[in-house]
Structures are given as C-alpha cells and as structure tokens.
Structure 1
Amino acid sequence: MHLAYFLCVMVGPAFGALTVDILAHDSRFTTLVDLVVKAGLVNTLNTGTYTIFAPTNDAFNALPPATLSGLANDVNALTNVLKYHVVQNKIMKSSASNELTIATLNGQKVRFNIYSHNNKVTVQGSEVIEFDKVASNGVIHVLNNVMLPPEGDIVDIVAKTSDVSTLLSLVQQAGIASALKGDALTVFAPTNAAFARLPSSVVNKITSNTGLLTEILEYHVVPHTEYSPGLYNREFLRTLDRNHDIIQLHTDSTGVRVNRNGHVTKANIGTTNGVIHLIDHVLIPARYYLTLLVGPAFGALTVDILTHDSRFTTLVDLVVKAGLVNTLNTGTYTIFAPTNDAFNALPPATLSGLANDVNALTNVLKYHVVQNKIMKSSASNELTIATLNGQKVRFNIYSHNNKVTVQGSEVIEFDKVASNGVIHVLNNVMLPPEGDIVDIVTKTSNVSTLLSLVQQAGIASALQGDALTVFAPTNAAFARLPKTVVNKLTSNTGLLTEILEYHVVPHTEYSPGLYNREFLRTLDRNHDIIQLHTDSTGVRVNRNGHVTKANIGTTNGVIHLIDHVLIPARYYLTLLVGKK
C-alpha cells in the first residue's frame, strides 16, 4: 500500500485537520509525505504548532536524480532537509516581510523575500505558489522548489566553488571578505572564465590598485536579496560600491543578462546571508570603462567604440555612407546611438529612403549628435540641446519608472565614455520634426477639424509655447459628437477654448513616461485633470479617448492622436447629457 494512501486512510481519521493529514490528502504532496514517513517525522509534526513549507511532487522531481536518491538513502540527510522546511509556530502570509529570517527545525534560518512589482514571494529563493493552507496545528505554504540547506555564507560558498577561485583570491586581496559576510546580499559572481576574458593589461591595472579592485568587486554586490523570481527586464539595481553605481538587468526567454554581456550561467545559489548568481563576464562601472577596457583596445574614439559593438552595425554603415566619420572623430560630441533593432523598426520605405538620399541621411544622423560631452548626470527634464543639424532635441526624465527619453526615444544605456565624448544608446531612431505643434497639426489631414477650431478659438499662439503635450482628436473623433454639442462649442468661444485647452498638458509626456492611472493637469482655465489608462492594448485618456497614434514629435512637445473628444466633467452634463 502506498504510504500517502496509508496516511489518508489510517492517519486522517485519527488526527483530523493536522498538517500531515492535509498533506496526505493532497495528491500534489505524495513524495513529501513518503519522505516524512521515511524520516520518522510524522509524530513530530503532529505534536506541535508548525509552519510547513511544502514542496510539490514536481519540485522534488526537478531535483537532480542523484540528489533525490541520495536523500532517500540517507535518513540523517533527509531529516535535515525536511526539518529545513519546518518552522515552529504559525507564520501566515500576512506576518511575512521582506528579508525576514526565521529559524527552522534543523537550526538554520530561511529568508522571506517579497517582490512588490510582480507580487511574488520566495522562501530561500523557492517561490511560494500557494499560501495559508491552515491546519489545526499550523499552516502550510506550497513551494515550487525544494530548499536545500546552504553550506555557509557567501564567502564560504565562494571558497567551496572551484569555478570562482579567481574571485575568491581577489576578494581576499582587496580585504572585503567581511563585507560579504553582511546580511541580505546578492552577488553576481564572475567565473574564472569571466576573468580570463579580460585583457592582461586590465587585470594588471585592477590587481595593482586595491582601491580600484575594491570598487570593481563591490560593483558585483547588491545590498539586498534578489532571487530569480524577483528579477525583471530593465531592472536597475544599486550596488555596494562607493558611488552605488547601477547595474541593469535584461531578462528574456534565454535567461538573465547583467549590463551589456554578463549572462547568468547559474542562478540562485543559496547562502545563509543571501544569494549568488554566476556570470560569464566581469562587470565594469561606466566611469571606469574608458580607463580599463576601451582605451587599451580601441583608442577610445566614439566611432571606434560603435564599430566594435555589434549592436551598431547599421549606424556605423550609415555614418560611413554619409561621410561623417572624420567629423565625429575630430571634435568632442555626445552621440545618441540607435541600435540595429531601432533602425529595423523604421518603416522599410523610410530606411531605404535614407540610404538612397545622402542629404536626408546626413540630416538625420546629425540630429543624433550634440557638441560637447553631456553625461546622464548633466541631463534634466525638459532640457533642450542643439544638435549638429541645427534643431534641438529634448530630454525627458520620468522619475516614477526611471526612464529617460531624448525626443521621445528611450535611452537604454547611458554614458559609454570615449576619449572624445560619450555615447547614449537609444531604442528608436529620432526623425527631425517638421515644425511645432501647430505646424504638424496643419500638415496632418486627419486633424483638420481640430485645426479649424484652434483657429476659431484664437489659441494657436498658446500651442506654440514650449514643452506641451497635445492629445489631438481626429476628424472622426469630432464627427462622433452630436451636432447639438458641436453647435454649442462653435457658438461659444469661451467654451470652445476651454474644451480645446483640456486636451493640452503643459509638459512633455512621451509614451515611455505614461503609466496606468496617471493624472495630468491640463492647460484649461481650471487646470482640469485627465486620467490615463494603460494596458496591453494601448493608452486610453479618460473614459474612451483611445490613443490611435502616439509620439508624433514636434519642436515644442509631442502630439498623440485620440479617437474621442475629451470633455471636462464640469461640462459633461451641459454638453452631453443635457441635450436629452
């Protein structure tokens, strides 16, 4: 008779809703129940008040076969692992907090981590997939992985891992082992192969300067615990180094990458004071990149850096075609560099048109270049800077999500320093705007109704101010209004002005800065509020103003086309309901 079935039949009636009884009656836990019986822990778990972190059958099956069979054949080791999943007293989900550590029955502690951005909770890195299965003598939380007790703190594990022996020797040389024994740390640990990839000249510079070595090593350490379930794409994490420099994570179906090329090769190595992720490249803070990597290899000119980065082959080809290499190499410049993916995202006709028109191509490329070195730290929201084509580009900094745009294109990497300037990487190509908001509205046929109403209200000059966002109703949007409403608007200049200005926000809001349930004050007399709703289908303004075309750049802001006219709440009754 199967042990789980035996417990269902024999133990269940005797003990009712005890923790082991609940597990025995749930087919997801047959492996766990069998092992609890094998370890002789049934009476222990039934005679106290406990919290059990219960791995499913799938969790046990995910263990290496040798590990699982080893536990089954070694009662002491099995008991130790099972007790590591049990905590005295009842710990409900509501009692857990991020970085909370609790002693288990095997004497070691487990750590809770709560990741608010995706609502995931882990215990020692294993995700809790079901909470608060309450029993008469405790509570059960269901795990998607088995927790194996760590064999020491971060330094201990590094010392026991042959693949990071170079890291260990450098940690000892820098004298920072004690810092790595602090609590709640994440270490992105370069393997021996990662260090072997560094040029010998770089290794010599690092190992001959203890301060520099310390900075580089601490740049691999995050002062809180980040297991894989908590990582997300384009996450920025501050590190332990002196300047608390930022690393950026990139996650996709292939795994996790740190900064440009630090691929995680083994994740979630648990320790008593945090977690280790092995990576295949050494991470270098941007402020040291020129000194350590670019200088020795490439001579550090901006075009050289772009040439040696496979993400910019299209950009480099176009720079050569436009005859701009010497220009960019003989001055100090900031280059906003679109990636290959950014160029590929252009309409094919636009890209081929640029390739076949050197003057147009030169104009677009010069629009991505600014004289002097503009570091990220020098940028500010709504800062405009003249480019080499004579037009200005606008910085926007959105503090709520740490995104920065230049003329609406998101900067996905900052401060690639060269000997003659700096490069910021863009996810879109910037096309020079053909005028201000009024000019663009005038040139756009499907907002001709809006143009005529702006002219009637006499507010064109207001729309030529700086740093504006216009949610511009299309002709179809105005056509949706009842004729009685249109007549009221067109016969009352004051009311018309209010309605039109309700579509204008007095600062620049490109798509990367918009977020769900954002409230934006408008330019109308009362500074009425519009509310944004964002989801996978796009952006909606107020109740039904869907954005049909976003990010139409202008010299003084941005236009988003919408499919409904927006009406302030204070006029809603008069204009729309009153007609009935």
Structure 2
Amino acid sequence: MDFKLRFLPVCLSFILGSFLFFSCNIEGDLPPQNEVNLFATAEDIPELSIFSEAVGLALLSQPLSELGPFTVFAPSNEAFEALFREVGVSNVRQIPADVLQGVLLYHIVSGRILSKNISSGSFPTFLPETSLTIDVNGSTILINESTSIIRRDIEAENGMIHLVDEVLFPPSNTIMEALESNGNTIMVQALIAAGLAETLASEGPFTVFAPSNSAFERFLEDNLLTGTEFIESPLLDTFLSYHVVDGLLPSQNFTVGPRETRVDLPIYFSEAINGNLWLNGIAGINNTNINADNGIIHVLDYVLTPPTENMLDYLQNTSTASDAEFRILVQAVQLLGLEADLQGGVDENLTLFAPTDAAFENLFDELGINGLEDLDQNTLRDILLYHLVPERLFSQDLREDEPLQTALEGASLELNIADQLVNEANLLPDFLNTLLLNGVIHGIDAVLLPDE
C-alpha cells in the first residue's frame, strides 16, 4: 500500500472524542425541516456511494448523523477510484478501517460553510494537528493547491457537503522527509545510496541517530575518505543501519548503557560529568526529538562506527602497521598466553588501558632491563591484569571519586578527570574511546604498576 496511507492510523476513541469535543448540538442551527443528516444526505447521492461506504467502514456514520454542524469535502467516486489505482487496491474495503478514519477526518472541518463564505486560509480538520489550505480566486476554489470543488453547497440537517475531485491527504512527514527538512542532506543521500530510504519511509516506527552534515565531513576527513568512497562502500548499509533503533526512543528515555540497533550491535550511551549524553564515547547529541510520522530523529555531531574486531584482533592488527603503538603490549599478551582474556563478543564488557610502545620502553629504562624477557612472568601478568577493568567504560563514564576495580584482585586504579590521568598515566586523545566488540580501549603513555 502506498506510504501516504500507512501513516494515518487513528484511534477510534480519540476520533469520537474529537467530534464530541469540537461539535455542538445541532438544534438552533437547522436548515429547512425536510433536510436529513450528513450521512443520509451522502447516501442519497450516487456520486458519493464510495464515500458513504468508506464512512460506514470507518465507523463514522454515527458522528456524521448525530453531531455537527460540520462541513465535509467529500471525494467523488472517480476520486476514490483514482486513489485505488494509485495504491494498488480494487475497492475501499481493502483499505484498513483505521486508515480510512484518518483519511476521512482530514476531509471534515467544523461549522456549516457555504461556498460563498469560504475564504483563503488554513482550516483545521478533525485529523489531529492537521489543516486544509484553501485558496479562493474569484469563483475558483482550490484545496491544498490542486483539489477542486466540483459540486457545491449540498445542505444537510447538521452541516454542508462539497464534492471534490481528489482524495485529500495531509502533508506527509516520514523520517526521510524530516531529515531533508532538518538539513541532514548527507545522511539522506547516504540512505538512498544504501537502499534504506524505502525502509525509513515505511511504517516503523524507528529512532534514527543522524549525524549532521558537518559530522560527516569531519568523519571523512579524519578517515581520509572521499564522499564517493564512503557512498560506494559495500558496508554502507550496515554502517547506516547502526544508527537506527527499532521503535520510538525519545530523549527522556535515554539511559546509560547499551541499546540494540538494526544490525544487532549495540550503541552505548554515556553521561559526562556535566550531564551531557554521548554515544560510543565519540558523538555528542546536538538536537533531540525531531518528530516524523513514522519515528523520531536525534542529531549527532559525529558518525558512529560499528565495531568489527575484539580487543585482541585490534591490537594485533594495529601492531603490524607502520605507525604501530602497541607492539610490545601484544608481545606481552602472547608471552603470557592471555589472548583468550581479550577475545569475545558484545556480551563481554572490558576496558583496557593500553600502554604504548614508548610507555613500555620508558619502564624498561627505569628498571634497567632490556625488555619483556627480563621481567618475572608473574610480575608481568599482574601488570597486564592491572590495566584491565571488567566493565565497558568510555571516558565520559569515568568518575574521580570512584576507583576502578581491575582484573588484578584487590587492586584499583585512581582517576584524575580534570587532568585526564589514570594513576599517573595520561589518557591519549588519539587512542581514546576505541570501541570494540568486547569492550573499549584507551591508550595511555605510561605502564601502570600495581604496587605503586
């Protein structure tokens, strides 16, 4: 079914409540006594047979019979038949009743309005928070810029009917349209390229964490990528789906910790000391609760990257690079047979404060030794376990008054948030908040010793 019809489900109790609230008793506003109510009047007009059937299916015949006064812009049979062709149905019974309710409510306004009294402007309808726009130019009356009144001033006991030549629809505002309206044009282009535009124009609901245009530009620059390379990536679908959560998640329901995405990998919320929320330790949330018909959007100041490696894979892969920083750490892990401690998936939650090669070399100089082989293995094991915390902690999660209990029994780390220190080691900005499947790595410029 066409997307225009998918976003109009309306609760019947709300509909009837709306009619009751906005309607008045029809007594005292009656035309001549031989006239009948709106529903009965429509039933007597051959050109409105489909409209009358739709009113009955939508359970609106009683309000249009007993309440009022209303003015109804009733689509002709030809108008409904054109809609059926557009959305791929053969009759009005194939359109869900709740959808019909929404469509029909958009054709009804309050009061008895003769065509000669219609003026240009916006007219609130009984579909919540939506209005019709009417333009009058001489004898010509256009509704929503293109729909014409083809038969005017059919009076009923409780209102007025005007036949129109099209079925009217409220302005749609899918997530894709809301992104465009909000200026997230790079996100829109990427979603289209990834084949996700149709998904995000479907019923949903979805929550989208949308990087701003400047966020994408910084991400591309940081990763030495061109826009074309990014758009043509075979992983673009996965990459963008990592920014989408099924269901509605307004900002008031944000909680620290993981939240599953459409790629079965969590994103992680952290709260900084100042109360600001971050995702994956790298993206701040600039704007929240941008509503769409099928979901909600929050704007990020950086792009999220789904993790693909565990800690061991990451350290081993980076240790072979020309500008590698963690070769000695990898050698230490292998020397002690601790590889299994750094493997695993998203169900494991670890934080590793990873000393750089320079940090290890400074330690060797201080101890007057040549390398790892000169360290007692039990001592080296304690040192490595002292760098590992059995929690997934981004830098925003760290608190000065909460020492971190490490994997070394009975040993904890002290934090200095103002100076970005763990014990006496500096947290390195270039290696901060590296998200991996089984945890987070923070690079540090000194080896931490448990007996200090």
TM-score by length of 2: 0.54
What letter corresponds to residue 426 of structure 1 in structure 2?
L
2:299 alignment partner in structure 1:
425
**Distance verdict in 2 for CA 1:298–1:365, change over 3 Å:** farther
Query: Is residue 317 from structure 1 mapped to residue 189 from structure 2 by the alignment?
Result: yes
Residues 418-443 of structure 1, C-alpha deviations (whole Å, 9 max, x = no match)? 33222222221012223111111111
- 1:509 & 1:398 partners in 2: Cα distance? 11
Do structure 1's residue 567 and structure 2's residue 439 form an aligned pair?
no
- How far has the Cα of 1:338 moved from its partner? 0.8
CA distance in 2, matches of 1:351, 1:367: 21
SS at structure 1 position matched to 2:257: coil
Shift of 1:453: 1.0
Within the candidate set 539, 542, 547, 2:428 is matched to 547
Instruction: Identify which of 344, 357, 370 aligns with 2:217.
Output: 344
- Runs of 5+ unmatched residues, structure 1: 1-198, 207-295, 573-580
In the other structure, the counterpart of 1:410 is: 284
Query: How far did 1:529 drift?
Result: 2.0
**Rg (Cα) greater in structure:** 2
Whole-angstrom CA distance in 2 between matches of 1:479 and 1:300: 59
State the distance in 2 between where 1:414 and 1:392 align.
22
Asked if 1:332 corresponds to 2:205, the answer is yes
Matched residue SS, 1:425: strand
Q: Which of the numbers 439, 447, 468 marks the counterpart of 2:313? A: 439
CA distance in 1 between partners of 2:358 and 2:418 (Å): 22
Residue in 2 aligned with 1:468?
Answer: 350
Secondary structure at the counterpart of residue 455 of structure 1 = helix
1:428 aligns to what SS in structure 2? coil
Q: Give the C-alpha shift of residue 391 in structure 1.
A: 4.5
Q: Tell me the distance in 1 between the aligned counterparts of 2:194 and 2:233.
A: 6
> What is the CA–CA distance in structure 2 between the aligned matches of 1:394 and 1:356, rounded to whole Å?
22
Aligned-pair CA distance for 1:543: 1.9
Deviations 1:120-178 (A, max 9, x none): xxxxxxxxxxxxxxxxxxxxxxxxxxxxxxxxxxxxxxxxxxxxxxxxxxxxxxxxxxx
Q: Deviations over 1:287-314 (max 9, x none)?
A: xxxxxxxxx985232111111102x122
Q: Does 1:459 align with 2:353?
A: no
Which of 248, 268, 272 is matched with 1:373 structurally? Answer: 248
Distance, in Å, in 2 between the alignment partners of 1:325 and 1:520 is 44
Does the residue aligned with 2:191 lie in a helix, a strand or coil?
A: helix
* Residues 319-361 of structure 1, C-alpha deviations (whole Å, 9 max, x = no match): 2232321021123322111111211211432353544514233
RMSD between aligned alpha carbons? 3.1
Name the CA distance, whole Å, in 1 between partners of 2:188 and 2:402. Answer: 39
Structure 1 counterpart of 2:416, from 532, 543, 556:
532
Q: Does 1:502 align with 2:405?
A: no
Instruction: Determine what percentage of the aligned residue pairs are the same residue.
Output: 29
Once the two structures are TM-superposed, the CA of residue 458 in structure 1 deviates from its matched residue by 2.9
1:246-295 CA-to-partner distances (Å, cap 9, x unmatched) read: xxxxxxxxxxxxxxxxxxxxxxxxxxxxxxxxxxxxxxxxxxxxxxxxxx
SS at match of 1:299: coil
State how far apart, in whole Å, the 1-side matches of 2:412 and 2:403 are.
Answer: 10
Provide the C-alpha distance between the structure 2 equivalents of 1:557 and 1:297, rounded to a whole number of angstroms.
Answer: 47
Q: Quick one: which amino acid aligns to residue 528 of structure 1?
A: S
- Equivalents in 1 of 2:170, 2:441: separation in Å? 44
Distance in 2 between residues matched to 1:298 and 1:359, nearest whole Å: 35
Alignment correspondent of 1:449: 328
The 1:384–1:527 alpha-carbon spacing in structure 2 relative to 1, beyond 3 Å, is: farther
Q: Is the 8 A contact 1:467 1:507 kept in 2?
A: yes
Q: Distance in 1 between matches of 2:373 and 2:233?
A: 48
Matches within 5 A, 1:380-419: 380-385=255-260, 387-388=261-262, 390-398=263-271, 400-408=273-281, 409-419=283-293
Given residue 211 of structure 2, which amino acid in structure 1 is its aligned partner? Answer: P
Q: 2: distance between equivalents of 1:394 and 1:361? A: 17
Quick check: 2:273–2:396 contact (8 Å CA) kept in 1?
no
Task: Name the CA shift for 1:428/1:201 in 2 (closer, same or farther; >3 Å).
Answer: farther
Distance 1:513 1:298 in 2: 42
**SS in structure 1 opposite 2:312?**
helix
Aligned length, in residue pairs: 276
The residue aligned with 2:232 is 357
Letter in 1 for 2:225: T
Give distance in 2, aligned partners of 1:562 and 1:462: 20
Runs of 5+ in structure 2 lacking a partner?
A: 1-121, 130-168, 320-324
Q: Which amino acid aligns with 1:303?
A: M
Structure 2 residue 175 is the aligned partner of structure 1 residue 302: yes
Summarize deviations over 1:434-488 as a string: whole Å, max 9, x none: 3111111111122121112122233333333622221111111111112546668
Secondary structure of the equivalent of 2:235? helix
Equivalents in 2 of 1:356, 1:391: separation in Å? 22
The 1:332/1:339 distance shift into structure 2, 3 A limit, reads same
Secondary structure in 2 matching 1:507: coil
Question: In structure 1, how many angstroms separate the alpha carbons of the residues matched to 2:389 and 2:407?
Answer: 6
1:471 and 1:489 map into 2 onto residues whose CA distance is 22
1:499-550 Cα deviation digits (max 9, x unpaired): 1122223323323444667643322211312313435xxx332224341421
Paired residue type of 2:318: T
Using a 3 Å threshold, how does the CA distance of structure 1 residues 534 and 518 change in structure 2: closer, same or farther? farther
Q: Is the 8 A contact 2:242 2:306 kept in 1?
A: yes
The answer (yes or no) to whether the contact 1:548–1:563 under 8 Å persists in 2 is no
Write the mapping of 1:207-226 to structure 2, written as runs, cut at 5 A: none
Q: Could you report, residue by residue, the CA deviation over 1:209-254 in whole angstroms, capped at 9, with x for unpaired residues?
A: xxxxxxxxxxxxxxxxxxxxxxxxxxxxxxxxxxxxxxxxxxxxxx
User: Is the Cα contact below 8 Å between 1:522 and 1:530 reproduced in 2?
Assistant: no
The CA distance in 2 between the partners of 1:322 and 1:567, in whole Å, is: 48
Deviation at 1:554, TM superposition (A): 0.8
Q: Give the 3 Å change call, closer, same or farther, for CA 351–488 of structure 1 in structure 2.
A: closer
Assess if the C-alpha contact under 8 Å between 1:434 and 1:440 holds in 2. no
Contact 1:447 1:473 in 2 (8 A): yes
Report if aligned partners of 2:353, 2:442 keep a CA contact under 8 Å in 1.
yes
**Which residue of structure 2 aligns with residue 176 of structure 1?**
none
Hey, what's the Cα distance between the residues in 2 that align with 1:492 and 1:299?
Answer: 69
Q: 1:516 to 1:347 in 2, by over 3 A?
A: farther
Residue 112 of structure 1 corresponds to which residue in structure 2?
A: none
Partners of 1:406 and 1:436 in 2: CA distance: 19
Once residues 271 and 341 of structure 2 are traced to their aligned partners in structure 1, the CA distance between those partners, rounded to angstroms, is 25
